[in-house]
């Protein structure tokens, strides 16, 4: 009888362990707030589901306690694209004439959200504005407007006039980077990939503790990653837009996030 009970217990423990390995982690998606409504484009939701995660929209708030509870309730975080970041408030620069619209409450929300996530040690993927938020949250600065501030001999159009699922310019990925490792065979050889682009702000001074892992031809930063945490990554382009159209080149970014979030 004792042997049967012990065997039954072992089977139960193995089943629980297997279930834990296969669990679908909850991935929080920071909402936009430009219209006063909390929204997340469906492309992000579909990309998380494709990668095996459970997407949950995190509504914008300026209540630090609520933000902390949000972070305690999720396994991974995606900072989505959207509005410009207030330069005077968050990195001490006066606004330039070409700067776009800002939403102060969302700036507060996203910046405190990512700081809390990193402090708790959960994986973070920043996309477009999300990459910029990561950089600013940890002491970096931005080009408020690329065309008027970032002069280059080889300028690239970063706000494309093409469908969201279509890549219009290339990026070069550093071969010693975590991003290169994640994307694997898709960047082997040339280290270049084609991406879509919908922004006019970008990383200028990289935050302490971070490194650049990808550039555009004009020198604009296209990806950053945290030195001491391989699961905190920001990209300037929109991989979810490409994935939604059947281009899985960047699906490994979401697969990596979901795997790390387990």
Q: Name which of 146, 158, 182 is nearest 236 in CA terms.
A: 158
Whether 240 is catalytic is yes
Going by pLDDT thresholds of 50, 70 and 90, the confidence category of residue 37 is very high
Question: What are residue 51's phi and psi, to 5 degrees?
Answer: -85, -5
Tokens 């217990």 identify what position?
Answer: 9
Going by pLDDT thresholds of 50, 70 and 90, the confidence category of residue 21 is low
Segments of 60-209 assigned E as strands? 76-79, 124-127, 142-143, 169-173, 192-195, 202-203
83, 222, 225, 240: the active-site residue: 240
pLDDT at 5: 36
Rg (CA), the chain: 20
Query: pTM, whole model, 2 decimals?
Result: 0.90
pLDDT at 245: 87
pLDDT above 70 (res 18): no
How does pLDDT run across 134-153, given as a tens digit for each residue? Answer: 999 999 999 999 999 998 88
How does pLDDT run across 158-169, given as a tens digit for each residue? Answer: 989 888 788 889
pLDDT at 1: 42
158, 199, 231, 238: the active-site residue: 238
Going by pLDDT thresholds of 50, 70 and 90, the confidence category of residue 83 is very high
83, 112, 128, 131: the active-site residue: 128
pLDDT at 51: 97
- Domain extent listing, the chain: 25-261
Average pLDDT for the chain = 90
Evaluate whether 57 touches 124 at the Cβ level (below 8 Å).
no
Measured CA to CA, the distance from residue 131 to residue 216 in angstroms comes to 15
Q: Which CATH topology does 25-261 take?
A: Rossmann fold (3.40.50)
Residue 28, helix vs strand vs coil: strand
pLDDT above 70 (res 27): yes
Question: What are residue 85's phi and psi, to 5 degrees?
Answer: -105, 135
């Amino acid at each position: 009888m004792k042997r049967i009970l012990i065997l039954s217990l072992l089977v139960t423990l193995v089943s629980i362990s297997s279930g834990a390995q296969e669990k679908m982690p909850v991935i929080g998606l920071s909402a936009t707030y430009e219209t006063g409504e909390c929204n997340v484009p469906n492309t992000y939701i579909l990309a998380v589901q494709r990668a095996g995660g459970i997407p949950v929209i995190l509504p914008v708030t300026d209540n630090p306690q609520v933000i902390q509870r949000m972070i305690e309730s999720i396994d991974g975080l995606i900072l989505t694209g959207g509005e410009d970041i207030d330069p005077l408030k968050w990195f001490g620069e006066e606004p330039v004439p070409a700067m776009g619209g800002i939403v102060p409450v969302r700036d507060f929300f996203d910046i405190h959200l990512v700081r809390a996530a990193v402090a708790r040690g959960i994986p973070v993927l920043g996309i477009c504005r999300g990459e910029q938020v990561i950089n600013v949250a940890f002491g970096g600065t931005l080009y408020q407007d690329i065309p008027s501030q970032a002069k280059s001999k080889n300028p690239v159009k970063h706000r494309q006039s093409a469908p969201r699922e279509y890549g219009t310019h290339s990026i070069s990925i550093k071969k010693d980077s975590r991003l290169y490792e994640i994307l694997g065979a898709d960047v082997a050889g040339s280290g270049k990939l084609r991406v879509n682009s919908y922004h006019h702000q970008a990383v200028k001074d990289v935050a302490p503790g971070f490194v650049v892992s990808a550039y555009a031809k004009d020198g604009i930063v296209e990806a950053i990653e945290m030195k001491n945490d391989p699961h905190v990554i920001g990209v300037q382009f929109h991989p979810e837009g490409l994935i939604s159209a059947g281009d899985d080149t960047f699906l490994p970014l979401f697969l990596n996030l979901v795997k790390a979030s387990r």
